[in-house]
Amino acid sequence: MCPVPGETTQPVENPVVAVVGATGGLGSAISRELARRGARLVLTGRDPARLQELSEALPGSASAVLDLHDPDAGDLLVASATAAFGRLDVLVNAAGIVAFGTLADTPDIVIEELFLTNVVGPLWLLRRCLPLLQASQGTVVQLSAVVAEQPLPGMAAYSATKAALSAADAALARELRRVGVRVLDVRPPHTNTGLHERPLHGSPPRLSEGLDPQEVARVIADALAEPKRHQLAAADFGTTSSTAPTSTSSQSTSSQSTSGQSTEGAPHE
């Protein structure tokens, strides 16, 4: 069983959970952990081949190829969840991208892409999913990052997107409580998803050793069973080691094309 109670509801047996960015490093770990606990999954991602591979590894799951850049992506997710299971109990947003470098060296299009993928897209998606979540008295899980708490030089734009998402979560936690929907803002420390090695722009600083994605997924899944829990801060992941880079020098060496980057499984530095 994977209980996901709201503050006024009973635990849901075998809840329907949509994982956005399910094929990313952390998204896939969350998907596998929730499946192990009995959740019925709706998996989403941008890469059809990777999505099919994950779906085959998690029998009984539904899937939908969608892009957070599309304002109507949420409509597709709603249709998929409704067709497969008739409901949606939990929406997990594990999608995102990262970029490094000083603000002066960061192209406008990179800043725009960061905000579109990490902030605007998730809010578009949530708007479309709210009627289903309200009907089930469900839960929204937003994957922010430790930089929402500890913004870092050389990561100003990325830090700003995660702080913006966390600010939205704080407001939504109060706003959606009125309609019975819980919001869980999750800010894990640096996690070994591998995406920091494929940034949208720039080069990553030297990072301290990251957490195991499966362990992070376990903490998140445990938090779903705590009806009054609305936040998982970096400290809640049981690490006392520094979450900051060991060096703050982020050189903007070779800028990578935005068109070739995945929006799945953001690294949580």
Bridge partners of 61, per DSSP, are none
Q: What is the greatest pairwise CA distance in the chain?
A: 52
So what's the pLDDT on residue 104?
97
DSSP letters along 33-79, please? Answer: HHHHTT-EEEEEES-HHHHHHHHHHSTT-EEEE--TTSTTHHHHHHH
- Give the residue numbers annotated as catalytic, written as ranges: 158
Q: Give the residue among 121, 133, 144 at the shortest CA–CA distance from 175.
A: 133
Cβ-contact 17, 90 below 8 angstroms: yes
Helix axes 25-36, 48-57, angle to 10 degrees: 20
122: its two tokens: 């998730």
pTM: 0.86
Asked, for residue 147, whether it belongs to a domain, the answer is: yes
Asked, for residue 246, whether it belongs to a domain, the answer is: yes
Amino acid at 89: D
Q: Which residues of the chain, if any, have pLDDT below 50?
A: 1, 3, 5-6, 8, 240-269
Asked, for residue 5, whether it belongs to a domain, the answer is: no
Helix (H) or strand (E) holding 93: strand 90-93
So what's the pLDDT on residue 263?
37
Amino acid at 189: P
Beta strand 139-143 with 231-232: parallel, antiparallel or unpaired? unpaired
Range of the domain at 222: 16-260
Euclidean distance between CA atoms 243 and 235, whole angstroms? 10
So what's the pLDDT on residue 9?
52
Cβ atoms within 10 Å, residue 113? 22
Euclidean distance between CA atoms 242 and 248, whole angstroms? 13
Q: Give the residue among 8, 3, 4 at the shortest CA–CA distance from 180.
A: 8
- Which CATH number belongs to the domain containing residue 179 in this structure? 3.40.50.720
Asked, for residue 229, whether it belongs to a domain, the answer is: yes
CA distances from 269 to 96, 123, 244 (A): 12, 22, 7
Asked, for residue 199, whether it belongs to a domain, the answer is: yes
Asked, for residue 252, whether it belongs to a domain, the answer is: yes
Asked, for residue 141, whether it belongs to a domain, the answer is: yes
Asked, for residue 3, whether it belongs to a domain, the answer is: no
So what's the pLDDT on residue 190?
86
Domain total of the chain? 1
